Amino acid sequence: MKIACLAGDGIGPEIMAEALKVLDALDIAGIELAHADVGGTAYKKHGQPLPPETLEVAKWADGVLFGAVGDPSCDSLERHLRPEQAILRLRQALTLFANLRPATMFPGLEDMSALRPEVAREIDLLIVRELNGDVYFGEKAIRTLDDGRRQGFDFMSYAEDEVRRIAHVAFRAAMGRGKKLCSVDKANVLETSQLWRDVVVETAKEYPEVELSHMYVDNAAMQLVRNPGQFDVVVTGNLFGDILSDQASMCVGSIGLLASASLGEDQTEYGTKGLYEPIHGSAPDIAGTGKANPMAMILSLAMLLRHSLGLEEQAARVEAAVAKALEDGVKGADLGGNSGTAEVGDAVLARL
Ligand code: IPM
Ligand code: MG
């Protein structure tokens, strides 16, 4: 069972170390680990954010455990050299088109939510975000018009097969949960969204048991704070999914708690090949202070065990240990507590 560890920038290495402590404690036979540089760290050492060796390691692995990328000192580099390009290119190179971002309220954390506890308590949703298309990967540039004005543009598009494959992932996820799917788009303004909606409706015919609804993204942003309990599975494009998943994280208390899986169609010997990362970034402001909450990283490891290695029992154990630590009041600075990175990691280990 091959795991690639790409710790990356900022708090990445600190939280990765805690996830690896947990992996070690599980004592799973036959795990092979490989580490590689990525992001700003890789740029500084190798002159590029995703060196070929790193891509090779990612291709070799059954599952990629990914910390975070982003480094303010790289923000003025040409775009293709910036740390964020590493994750975008990995998602593309490995055709990881389905991003699963679960947001569930942990018992005991209701008071941490930005929402009222009785509203927050109901949150148990899964955002299925398309990850290989949309305005992220269209033609883009800053060009100079004939009259000398600069113009920035990013081409937004979705081909029907791209929509169909993510729709299938979302419908299947809904079948395994509450059988409700809400497709989020902006079909009242965007043609890209109109096609999205048409294809989702066509795909729905194969899933008669799933109750399908559609929502414009502006309304979805509002509903997510008004009544998040109404959502089961949400499927949406790359850009809207990026935004809504950050929003969902604050609804459950902290961005330091949300894990994600990025999956494609490639099967490994044990499951589906994938990349697993916290939805938060590299948090350069707290890097090196030992304050980062490693829980999202540890929960990402749990998703890797489940989806790429077929180790459901171990995955559930890790998730239960995190939930128990939270229930017992173990809180990092992001949750208003004072447990440091290693302390939170140790607390999870103790409950494992
Ligand atoms: C995320 C991040 C990335 C994205 C960035 C780092 C490119 O915000 O995974 O949500 O926009 O997809
Ligand atoms: Mg994001």
- Over residues 87-135, the pLDDT tens digits come to 999 999 999 999 999 999 988 888 888 899 999 999 999 999 999 999 9
Please, which residues have CB within 8 angstroms of residue 252's CB and are 6 or more apart in sequence?
103, 104, 105, 106, 109, 113, 120, 123, 258
Helices (H), 129-216: 160-175, 191-204
92 and 9 co-located in one domain: yes
For residue 341, tell me if it sits in a domain.
yes
Q: What is the mean pLDDT of the chain?
A: 96
Q: How far is the CA of 51 from the centre of ligand 1 (A)?
A: 19
For residue 114, tell me if it sits in a domain.
no
Q: Which helix (H) or strand (E) holds 153?
A: strand 150-154
Q: What is the pLDDT of residues 205-228, one digit of tens each?
A: 999 999 999 999 999 999 999 999
83 and 150 co-located in one domain: no
The atom number, within ligand 1, closest to the CA of 69 reads 6
Note down the domain range covering 268: 1-98+258-352
CATH of the domain at 148: 3.40.718.10
203-206 long-range CB contacts below 8 Å, 24 or more apart?
203/164, 203/167, 203/168, 203/171, 204/167, 204/171, 206/168, 206/171
233 and 136 co-located in one domain: yes
Which of 69, 85, 88, 97 has most ligand 1 atoms within 8 Å of its beta carbon, as the pocket-test mutant? 88
Q: How far is the CA of 70 from the centre of ligand 1 (A)?
A: 10
The residue that leads in pLDDT, 298 or 249, is: 298
Contact 221, 162 (CB under 8 A): no
Domain termination residue (choose one: 251, 283, 299): 251
Q: What is the pLDDT of residues 315-350, one digit of tens each?
A: 999 999 999 999 999 999 988 899 999 999 999 999
Which of 64, 69, 87 has most ligand 1 atoms within 8 Å of its beta carbon, as the pocket-test mutant? 87
For residue 66, tell me if it sits in a domain.
yes
As given in the structure block, the two tokens for residue 21 are 């402590």
- For residue 254, pLDDT over 90 is answered with no
9 and 91 co-located in one domain: yes
Residue among 276, 233, 237, 231 nearest 251 (CA) = 231
Q: Given 186, 273, 291, 331, which residue is catalytic?
A: 186
Tell me which ligand sits closest to the C-alpha of residue 238: 1
Percent of the chain with pLDDT over 70: 100
The atom number, within ligand 1, closest to the CA of 68 reads 6
Q: How far is the CA of 313 from the centre of ligand 1 (A)?
A: 30
Contact 317, 108 (CB under 8 A): no
Q: Residue 151: which pLDDT band, with cuts at 50, 70 and 90?
A: very high
Residue among 195, 284, 215, 241 nearest 91 (CA) = 241
pLDDT, residue 60, reads 97
Residue 26 backbone phi and psi in degrees, to 5 = -70, -20
DSSP class of 105: P
The residue that leads in pLDDT, 73 or 250, is: 73
DSSP class of 79: G
The verdict on whether 147 is a catalytic residue reads: no
How many of the other CB atoms lie within 10 Å of CB of 198? Answer: 13
Q: Report which protein residue has its CA nearest ligand 1's atom 4.
A: 242
Please, which residues have CB within 8 angstroms of residue 1's CB and are 6 or more apart in sequence?
28, 30, 31, 32, 62, 270, 309
Work out the average pLDDT over 2-8: 98
The atom number, within ligand 1, closest to the CA of 99 reads 9
The verdict on whether 276 is a catalytic residue reads: no
- For residue 263, pLDDT over 90 is answered with yes
151 and 216 co-located in one domain: yes
Tell me which ligand sits closest to the C-alpha of residue 88: 1
Q: How many CA atoms lie within 13 A of 120 on its CB side?
A: 21
The verdict on whether 246 is a catalytic residue reads: yes
- For residue 250, pLDDT over 90 is answered with no
The atom number, within ligand 1, closest to the CA of 70 reads 6
Q: Is 340 helix (H, G, I), strand (E, B) or coil?
A: coil
The verdict on whether 218 is a catalytic residue reads: yes
pLDDT, residue 253, reads 84
Domain termination residue (choose one: 194, 224, 251): 251
Q: Which residue has the tokens 């760290």?
A: 41
Q: Report which protein residue has its CA nearest ligand 1's atom 7.
A: 84
92 and 176 co-located in one domain: no
Q: What is the pLDDT of residues 275-300, one digit of tens each?
A: 999 999 999 999 999 999 999 999 99
1 and 22 co-located in one domain: yes
Ligand 1: lining residues by beta carbon, under 6 Å: 84, 87-88, 242, 279
Q: How far is the CA of 239 from the centre of ligand 2 (A)?
A: 9
As given in the structure block, the two tokens for residue 273 are 């090949």
Helices (H), 104-257: 117-120, 160-175, 191-204, 217-226, 238-251
Q: Which residue has the tokens 């004072």?
A: 338
Domain count, the chain: 2
For residue 103, tell me if it sits in a domain.
no
Tell me which ligand sits closest to the C-alpha of residue 134: 1
Q: How far is the CA of 268 from the centre of ligand 2 (A)?
A: 27
Q: Given 2, 71, 134, 136, which residue is catalytic?
A: 136
**Cα separation, 6 vs 48, whole angstroms:** 14
Please, which residues have CB within 8 angstroms of residue 253's CB and are 6 or more apart in sequence?
105, 106, 109, 112, 113, 120, 335
pLDDT, residue 95, reads 96
149-158 long-range CB contacts below 8 Å, 24 or more apart?
156/190, 156/192, 156/239, 157/133, 157/192, 158/130, 158/133, 158/134, 158/192, 158/195, 158/196, 158/237
Q: Given 9, 71, 232, 242, which residue is catalytic?
A: 242
| Distance spanning both ends of the chain, measured CA to CA | 21
